[in-house]
Structures are given as structure tokens and as C-alpha cells.
Amino acid sequence: MDPRILLASTAAVAVAADQTTKAVALAALDDGATRPVIEGVLHWTLQRNPGAAFGIFQRAPALFTVLAIGIVVFILAIAPRVKDNLNGVALGLVLGGALGNLTDRLFRPPGPFRGRVIDFIDFRIWPTFNLADVAVVVGAGLLAIASFRADREAARPAT
């Protein structure tokens, strides 16, 4: 499959999964309400996060909106040059995660550039997060693996 198509389709699936699960969480939970899924391990806890992933830096929502826009523009600019499937999936996950949370920042209260990101996955030992955060973290991990693989390939002697 063309890595650019893989990038776009991965991003689309990530955004759709993120926004769908956030809609379900908003419909099923009250703010701050917790529902155990696996008691003491996994809970659904609805939170509206003005900060970055996992609830950090909550006093700078506009900064993270601009940063997300920058990430989206950067990935879209380099997308035509993506040559392998691993990078396509990795960048698609980062793009989808950035777009998922950017959608919240632009269209959720209290308004554009200040909107709160919907978080609901709560393991009780980590800040509450959402599928967009998962996509960004997994995508970044896959980019690190792709980089390591590329470095290893470049270091191999030509045969």
C-alpha cells in the first residue's frame, strides 16, 4: 500500500475513534464522574482538560492549540515524501491524535483556542487521557523505531 494513503487512512481512523469515544464518554458520564471498568485498575472518569496530554501545563491552552496546528501543518507538508509503511502509520497516528485534540480545542467550550480536551481513560496511577493521546504516544514510539531502523540500515556496509 502507498505509505501516503496509509498515513491518511490511519489519521482518519484515529480521529474517528477519538471523537466517537469522546462523544460516548460525554453522553454516559457527568463531569468528574467515575465508572469502574476493572475495579482499582481501569475507570472511565470524565474530565475536561485545558492543558497538554495527560493533564500537564493546564494554564496554556492557546499555546497547545497553536502547537497542535503546527504539528498538523508539518506532517501535511512532509506527507508527500513518506516512503515506507512504518513511517506512514506512525505519522498518521501523530496526525490523527493531534487533529483529535485540536478539534476539542477549537470547537469545545469555552471557545476557540481555549476549548477543553475531553479525557476519560483513567488507570488511577496515571493522569486521565483519551485515544488521541494514545495515538500520539504510540505514533511517536513508532517514529523512534523507524528512525532506529533507518540508522541501522544506513550503517550497514553495501554489498
Active-site positions read 119, 133
Report angle CA 24, 28, 31 to the nearest 5 degrees. Answer: 105
Q: Residue 148 is placed in which grid cell?
A: 532506529
d(CA 20, CA 124) in angstroms, rounded, equals: 23
d(CA 113, CA 108) in angstroms, rounded, equals: 9
d(CA 154, CA 149) in angstroms, rounded, equals: 9
